[in-house]
Amino acid sequence: SIMELLFKILKSDNVYVKETTAWTIGRICEFHSGTIMPHFNILLEQIVPCLRDSWSVANNGCFAIYHLANACSEASINPTSPLTKYYGHLIMALMEAVNHPGAAENSPILLSSIFEAITKVIKSGAEDTIPLSLEMFPFFLEKMKATFEIPNKELRIQLQGLLCNVIMTLTNKVKDLMASYAAPLLEICLHLLKTVKHIEEDVLMVVGSVAAEIGEEFVNFMHPFMPFVLHGLEGEELTLLVVSIGIIGDFCRSGKQEINKYGDQIVDSFLKILKNQEIDNIVQPHVLSGFGDLANAMGMPFEQHLPVVCAVLQAAAKTSKPEDPEDYEGFEHLYAIYSAVFDAYTCILQSLLGTERGVIFKEEAVFVVNFLIYCMENDPTFVSTEQS
């Protein structure tokens, strides 16, 4: 068969032949996953040694492993999959490749490929890989600590960013089981935020994932991170800004009343973001939803912000349609705004439930109902999408 021929060619002494063959196997895994599944075991046995070959062969080996793992991604919700047998071995083999002799010279390329493959393996692992994933936390935390001593600044920062992504993926996989590792992990995150200025969004995404997974237990860790999140809201760097807004939502859902002491600062920051013409309008729906998260967490204390927030939501709801009916990006943005407005109003109403202050929303309720009617009559596509 063609696969047997490729396995034979992969053992060639010619680096260029092996490099091309590894790439070809990766492409077959990418586009013909059903075809390669009968060869899954032997494929991995043939590809893993590539990680110890020349850096270009190792890079394409990572490419093949990525797509081979991706072929099992649909089985990640199943009790087990063909990937389970090799799960731990694959991740360790990929981590050993970090020390590849060619990694230093070609680190941006090879290291990215290595960690992309690791992340894909973790995501694609079935349910029976969760215990092993949990056991890997100390290993990756030690690897992160080890980066503090790397003298090459560029390499150090790249590795720290890549490890953040792996740790976040592990956190999302094992969910609240990682609570026992929350303290040492967050201590590392705090150290990174204090000492590294180029990977703030990566670190904050890890913090947000921990907050989302351990819930109310995160209250004990929240306060040291708030200055960094609030600082992220003050900048104009798009990725960091969106991440910071998202983390406010994570903190609101886990910290609840603890977020109250930061309510004024957060609302002020959100309003400044919406007024800043230099910031991409893609941020607008995130901010509008953020108001809802904050209202839901704060409860009655959010009442003082209702007049200005409701005015902002009304203005957003009146955003004009794109003139060009084929402006798909424009309509996608418009519907994102509509959805965020409804999310915010829903959360505000929830924050008033069970209180005697629901009457303060009476006039606003008229607008919300009229807005809903408008959407049903003029934007049926949006309404049907929301219902689904």
Calculate the alpha carbon distances from 334 to 30, 312, 321, 331 in Å. Answer: 34, 15, 7, 5
Span 130-188, pLDDT tens digits = 999 999 999 999 999 999 999 989 889 999 999 999 999 999 999 999 999 999 999 99
Identify the residue whose tokens are 């503090």.
148
The residue from 78, 97, 125 where one domain ends is 125
Span 95-106, pLDDT tens digits = 999 987 766 566
Rounded to an integer, what is the distance from CA 268 to the centroid of its chain?
26
Whole-model pTM? 0.90
Rounded to an integer, what is the distance from CA 351 to the centroid of its chain?
27
Distance CA 305, CA 44 (A): 57
Structural domain includes residue 67 = yes
The residue from 91, 125, 159 where one domain ends is 125
Say yes or no to pLDDT of 387 above 50.
no
Could you give the number of structural domains in the chain? Answer: 2
378 lies in which domain range? 256-387
Q: DSSP labels for 33-82?
A: HHHHGGGHHHHHHHHGGGGGS-HHHHHHHHHHHHHHHHTTGGGGGSS--T
Structural domain includes residue 144 = no
Structural domain includes residue 338 = yes
pLDDT given at position 94: 96
Mean pLDDT of 78-97: 95
Structural domain includes residue 154 = no
Residue partners of 269: CB distance under 8 A and separation at least 6: 230, 233, 234
Structural domain includes residue 163 = no
Q: How many residues does the chain have?
A: 388
Span 172-231, pLDDT tens digits = 999 999 999 999 999 999 999 999 888 999 999 999 999 999 999 999 899 999 999 999
Q: DSSP labels for 276-296?
A: -TTS-GGGHHHHHHHHHHHHH
Say yes or no to pLDDT of 58 above 80.
yes
Token reading at 2: 């063609």
Structural domain includes residue 359 = yes
Q: Are 179 and 186 in contact (CB under 8 A)?
A: no
The residue from 82, 104, 125 where one domain ends is 125
Structural domain includes residue 108 = yes
